[in-house]
Amino acid sequence: MPDINELLAKSRVVPLVQADDPTIAVEISRALAAGGLSVVEVVFRTDRALECLQAVADQVPEMIAGAGTVLTAVQAEAALANGAKFIVSPGLDDAVVAVAKKHGVPIYPGIMTPSELQHAYNLGLDTVKFFPASIAGGIPALKALSSVFRSMRFMPTGGVSPENLADFLAIPAVLACGGSWLTPKDAIDAGNYEVVTALAAAAVSIAKKARP
């Protein structure tokens, strides 16, 4: 199993996959892989998210699949039982962190404030999701937080776009950026996965220029 943080540092972009049909989740993930990405976050926002996660894990071996929007320890256990190689949460929950630690998988809980970040630090975490990035203060907030918590790394998500991706990645403490812009619903509903591939390739190009 490759080091997830190392993969994130190389890909620099983590696309979010939201689907209620495993076949569609697989098609989206393959399209993202064709665009040069190697890590995907399957979000738990649909009734069949677990099936989608398992399908991606089983059928898209070139993609490392994690589970996103994990809210409870029960969901975390289910995600890991269905192929997740890492866990992402919108907030910081001790029980979810404990499940990830028990299984030895990376956990990226969402933080928004210095107090939440300090709590994550004292739980032994070294990488967190900064969410929602645009509302939480964006780039200025990340620079301020990283200057105080010098060993922490961040994965900003929420409001990241092709227009500001390079600016986020220019911050040394940013490991990678999460993004839903890579998987536009209208294109997916139309079965136009070429759009997904093109957006992924464009993001990869921006990321390489921002951080050679």
Pairing of strands 153-156, 177-179: unpaired
Tokens of 75: 């969901």
Pairing of strands 107-111, 87-89: parallel
CA count, 13 A, side-chain hemisphere, 156:
27
List the catalytic residues.
Answer: 41, 129
Tokens of 15: 């696309």
Asked if 97 and 125 count as a contact pair (C-beta separation under 8 A), the reply is yes
Asked if 166 and 209 count as a contact pair (C-beta separation under 8 A), the reply is yes
Neighbours of 17 (CB within 10 A): 28
H or E element at residue 27: helix 22-34
Hunting for tokens 């990869």 — which residue is that?
A: 204
| Length of the chain in terms of residues written | 212
Q: Which amino acid is at 190?
A: A
Rounded distance, CA 120 to CA 130, Å? Answer: 12
Asked if 13 and 41 count as a contact pair (C-beta separation under 8 A), the reply is no
